[in-house]
Amino acid sequence: MTITYLSFTEVAERLGVKTGALATYKLPEPDARISRTRGWLPDTIDQWNANRPGRGVGGGRPRKHAE
């Protein structure tokens, strides 16, 4: 049985983002590595994506209060 891994480009497609944006993400450790090429199992990416913080985590800048 052949195991199929997702490439960096395929991970970006699966998440619906561009590769440039994906480069800023802290991805999980790859499940496989061939030379410099990384590969992730689809389940690894799906679990990571389901558990990563959502947009706006950290609170951002404090709001100005009306005086």
- Note the pLDDT tens digit of each residue in 13-27: 999 999 999 999 999
* Residue-level pLDDT at 64: 74
Three-class DSSP category at 33: strand
Q: Whole-angstrom Cα distance, residue 55 to residue 64?
A: 21
Which residues of the chain are modeled with pLDDT < 50?
A: none
Q: Which residue has the tokens 């983002």?
A: 17
How many helical (H) and strand (E) elements, i.e. helices and strands, does the chain have?
3, 2
Name residue, tokens 């410099």: 36
Fill in the amino acid letter for 59.
G
